[in-house]
Amino acid sequence: MFKSQISSFLLLFTSAFAQPHAIEGLTEPFSIVFDKDNTLYGVEYENGNRVFRLKDDQLTFIAGSKSPGGKKLGDVAAGDGGPASKGRFNGMHDLTLHPDGRLFIADTFNRRIRVIDLNTGKLSTLGDGKLTFKEPYTVDLSPDHQNLLVADLQQPPFSPIRSGPKAASKPSRQKQFPSSSPPSGGSRRNRQRW
């Protein structure tokens, strides 16, 4: 009841503690990231289920549609292989941007990491569904952009996945780690090459 009375918007501060700039038209904005040109990308949580871009004060939805979501709904992912605008998401929590233009999204309640190629507009699932996640909440890249780190609340603390150029849709069975052995407690099945 209280939730329906609140209008969701995003506040941007253009300089340290300056007046905020409100961006309206969003439903439960949850996480944001910037590219090298200061274009903002973000995700909406379970009542929005869209990926948005803010460039030159213009808000655009680049993926998903405002559709019902939530943990109880479960995996309703759709649209892989096609345009990201036709994709279906459920309860996205986080995103990170690779310098090559791949946007990695923790599509939490769909239990997968989704990938939007910003150069082509195509949507895919990391590992073509061969990687197993239960509740991936956060994603981030290592400083050298060679590892995608996934925090899954139902599995060990984090899962580093070794990267390769544009290889997100075809993981190798060979496991590669940044050090001589995998971090203790980690799940080996989520550390495949991508």
Whole-number pLDDT of residue 21: 67
pLDDT digit string (tens) for 2-29?
A: 333 334 555 555 555 556 667 788 989 9
pLDDT digit string (tens) for 63-76?
A: 999 988 899 988 99
Q: What share of the chain is helix, strand, coil (3-state, %, to 5)?
A: 10, 40, 50
At 116, which amino acid appears? I
At 76, which amino acid appears? V
Neighbours of 28 (CB within 10 A): 18
Q: Which of 188, 100, 184, 190 lies closest to 139, judged by CA?
A: 190
Q: Which residues contact 87 (CB under 8 A, 6 or more apart)?
A: 63, 64, 77, 78, 79, 80, 114, 123
For residue 110, CA distances in Å to 8, 62, 75, 128, 136 come to: 23, 18, 4, 13, 9
Q: Which residues of the chain have pLDDT under 50?
A: 1-7, 166-194
Neighbours of 4 (CB within 10 A): 6
Whole-number pLDDT of residue 5: 37
Whole-number pLDDT of residue 1: 33
Q: What is the pTM of this model?
A: 0.76
Whole-number pLDDT of residue 171: 36
Domains and CATH numbers, the chain: 29-190 (2.120.10.30)
What is the Cα–Cα distance from 115 to 172, expressed in whole angstroms?
Answer: 17
Query: Could you give the 3-state DSSP secondary structure of residue 117?
Result: strand
What is the Cα–Cα distance from 11 to 54, expressed in whole angstroms?
Answer: 12
